[in-house]
Structure 1
Amino acid sequence: MAINASHRWRLVLGKYAQSRLQPAMNNGFNETNRRMDLALDYLYGREYQGRGLRKDLSAGSLDPSQLTLVKWLNEIRELFPKETIESIEKHALDRYGMSELLTDPKVLEKLEPNQQLLRTLLTLKGHLKGDVVHMARRIIRQVVEEIRRQLEVQVRQLLSGRLNRFSHSPLKISQNFDAKGTLRKNLKHFNVDRQQLVVEDILFFARNNRRLPWEIILCIDQSGSMVDSVIHSAVMAGILAALPAFNVKLVLFDTNIVDLSEHVDDPVEVLMSAQLGGGTYIAQAVRYCSQLIENPHRTVFVLISDFCEGAPPSELINAVTKLAEDQVKLLGLASLDDQSNPVYDHHMADRLASCGMEIAALTPQKLAQWLLKVIS
């Protein structure tokens, strides 16, 4: 139901604008407007409290009963569109610190599963207990699977092998479409009267699988600023690990190192094992990963970080130089924020580039294209 302009402004500005807007509002709110106003005031009324404004302590009124947290969540889902709900929940968690949203299983169950909620759950994971942990794991898996679905088809198409133009496959992948072969195959079905080609058989090229796999080592900075990069890297690692062309190893680090290679095919387990926060000791992680390399000439080392080294920079420079001398393919993948904007130490990135590491700020799809270029 449409809301007129004066009512919309009243909802935006809150109850303290009532007296100023009343002349323009004519007949005032209907029942739906009142429910929307109460739901918005439940959250945004905290803004006034934060500025020292006392609650209204009048003796009584005919206002509806106060909302509980669970009832409030039900109300915003019924009253507002999905995009608005996500913004309201984001404000509740980030701006007003309503961590109780994540500590009650009944409340958590009602939150909209999305990347923002996933990010918050990972950040507060250490404070979750009991049934909330199981609920959080379920939400994380749901969001991770959605991210995987968005990435997997394109990545697999790019990295599943070169086109074999002498062989066809029953797999119908648009990127492998054999246009000339399809035309030749169906010429016998040309309808002379209609001057139309009837296509009954569509051909797709097969792809050659590489017999000797490449080693991919993903070394991921899990310091507090890296949460979005950790999420996408965990999903990307799972996709790569499912391809026969790669053996994937996964290492997370801050000032400590966690080797999660045995869980590389399970992004949820990787994310539940991540300990976001703390300092950054990149050189130590690079040295650890160098011990995992068996065939330097067929190894790609991907450092995913903001390059804000906490240890002396010379340690990191020396470690990366050693890998370059061993002819390991090196990529420094700059961290991206939730809007895919690069956020990293440009000076350190320049120094790493001078040692032989290619530096880039890539989305997961672009990372797949980069890997294809390197291993071709």
Structure 2
Amino acid sequence: MIGPDDAQVARRWRLVLGPAADDALGRPAGEEARLDHALGFLDEDGGGARSAGLGASGLMTSTEWINEVQSLFPRSVADRLVERAVEQHGIDDLVLDPEALAAVTPSQALLTAILRNRSLMSPAVLGAARTVVAKVVGELMERLAEPVRTPFAGVRDPRRPSRHRVAANFDPRATIRANLRNVDPATGQLVIRTPLFSSRVRRQADRWQVIVAVDQSGSMAGSVIHSAITAAIFHGLGTLRAHLVAFDTEVVDLTDQLADPVEVLLGVQLGGGTDIGRAVRYCASLVTEPRRAIVVVVSDFFEGGDPVVLRSAVRGLAESGATVLALAALDEDGRVGVDENEARELARLGAHVGAMTPDQLAQWVAEVVDGVRPSGPPQAAP
């Protein structure tokens, strides 16, 4: 005999397994039927028998589905379901509906969908989308600003004491030596009565150029977002001449917008072909002092243009004394998806090849500026 607990477990398994389990576990009813209907869109095929059928031809619009999910689940769960729907199925009508944009929690997945569909947006939708973009960019800037800036803060000089009492300047060794006589007789522990701080020697980055060129193809969405944020932070340092170039088969120089990363991202358009060689040649034209220039090319290196042009441009930059960094990814995961044959060829021609997170890129750039030429970035391609 099946008890109430067993029946509850069976109902939960039915929600997990979907319609394929109807014969064994029964069809859901009432509130559970609503749950099943809302979860249907997240099936792998995005439109099977269980699908909620989002879109103009289905049973619910994106806005209706979001409202349904938010009424059925706690906010944290609902936000994750919407983000997953955006990641897996696009839900393009969501980012073209100002009411839907206002209802959903901003996320990087939603930002990617906005960038993918920006050219289709009416002025009213673009206004709502701008609010979402600003929210996500603000969160990313807040999270990444300190780790990206830190390598350029300078190095502590223990020979030069400082009255600037901040944690980054704290000198633990000097502090311990200065307080060795201050021991609590009851506990035997050292008592710090006079904390000491060191000055910092600013890195000599004033004359260095960092040119970031990022591939706008659809698979590079995460790297496009993080390239824009990282370049904006570089620009804000005031000690580097930062440039940002976005490319597909055309090249768009976004440098003059770096003070406003929201405008930068609204200026890119994901998708389209790829002509990496053309972009690298453009970057080479921006270089003023090759030995004080770092050209960062972010792409999967599946070249849609002439690979001979790409290789010639990379070789020319390397031979001129510029530092060339070819990144298969620039995001917080540093995940790699790259044409390994092309990556090996670029490495042979003098480029450093790999994948990085934004803070790793900042550390790498700072080491180059300090005259330390890294042997290769993290996760270097074979």
TM norm structure 1 = 0.83
For 1:103 and 1:16, locate their aligned partners in 2 and report how far apart those are by CA, in whole Å. Answer: 34
One of 228, 233, 249 as aligned partner of 1:239: 233
Contact 1:36 1:79 in 2 (8 A): no
One of 66, 70, 82 as aligned partner of 1:89: 82
1:203 shift after superposition: 3.9
SS in 1 for 2:356: coil
Contact 2:226 2:358 in 1 (8 A): yes
Contact 2:164 2:197 in 1 (8 A): yes
Aligned: 1:11 with 2:10? no
Residue 294 of structure 1 corresponds to 288
**What stretches of structure 2 of length at least 5 have no aligned partner?**
53-58, 371-382
One of 132, 156, 162 as aligned partner of 1:168: 162
Residue 44 of structure 1 corresponds to 40
Contact 1:14 1:37 in 2 (8 A): no
1:330 shift after superposition: 1.2
RMSD between aligned residues:
3.2
1:36 shift after superposition: 5.2
For 2:243 and 2:22, locate their aligned partners in 1 and report how far apart those are by CA, in whole Å. Answer: 60
1:201 shift after superposition: 5.0
For 2:331 and 2:9, locate their aligned partners in 1 and report how far apart those are by CA, in whole Å. Answer: 35
1:131 shift after superposition: 2.2
**What stretches of structure 1 of length at least 5 have no aligned partner?**
56-65
CA deviation digits over 1:118-167, x for unaligned, max 9?
Answer: 11111111122132211111111211222222222122222222222223
Contact 1:186 1:201 in 2 (8 A): yes
CA deviation digits over 1:257-309, x for unaligned, max 9?
Answer: 11111112322111100021111111111111112111111111111111111
Residue 96 of structure 2 corresponds to 103
Aligned: 1:21 with 2:28? no
One of 228, 242, 264 as aligned partner of 1:270: 264
Contact 2:179 2:194 in 1 (8 A): yes
For 1:106 and 1:21, locate their aligned partners in 2 and report how far apart those are by CA, in whole Å. Answer: 38
Contact 2:182 2:190 in 1 (8 A): yes
SS in 2 for 1:112: coil
Residue 330 of structure 1 corresponds to 324
TM norm structure 2 = 0.82
Residue 378 of structure 2 corresponds to none
Contact 2:38 2:69 in 1 (8 A): no
For 1:228 and 1:45, locate their aligned partners in 2 and report how far apart those are by CA, in whole Å. Answer: 24
Residue 354 of structure 2 corresponds to 360
Contact 1:140 1:268 in 2 (8 A): yes
Percent of aligned pairs with the same amino acid: 37
One of 126, 135, 146 as aligned partner of 1:153: 146
For 1:262 and 1:332, locate their aligned partners in 2 and report how far apart those are by CA, in whole Å. Answer: 23
1:357 shift after superposition: 0.7
Contact 2:218 2:271 in 1 (8 A): yes
Supply the AA of the counterpart residue of 2:25.
L
Supply the AA of the counterpart residue of 1:170.
H
Supply the AA of the counterpart residue of 1:375.
V
Compare 184-193 and 267-276 and name the one that shifted more: 184-193
Aligned 1:103-122 pairs, distance under 5 A: 103-122=96-115
Residue 76 of structure 1 corresponds to 69
Report the CA distance shift for 1:268/1:68 in structure 2 as closer, same or farther (over 3 A): closer
SS in 2 for 1:277: coil
Aligned: 1:205 with 2:198? yes
Contact 1:191 1:198 in 2 (8 A): yes
Compare 203-212 and 249-258 and name the one that shifted more: 203-212
For 2:248 and 2:47, locate their aligned partners in 1 and report how far apart those are by CA, in whole Å. Answer: 35
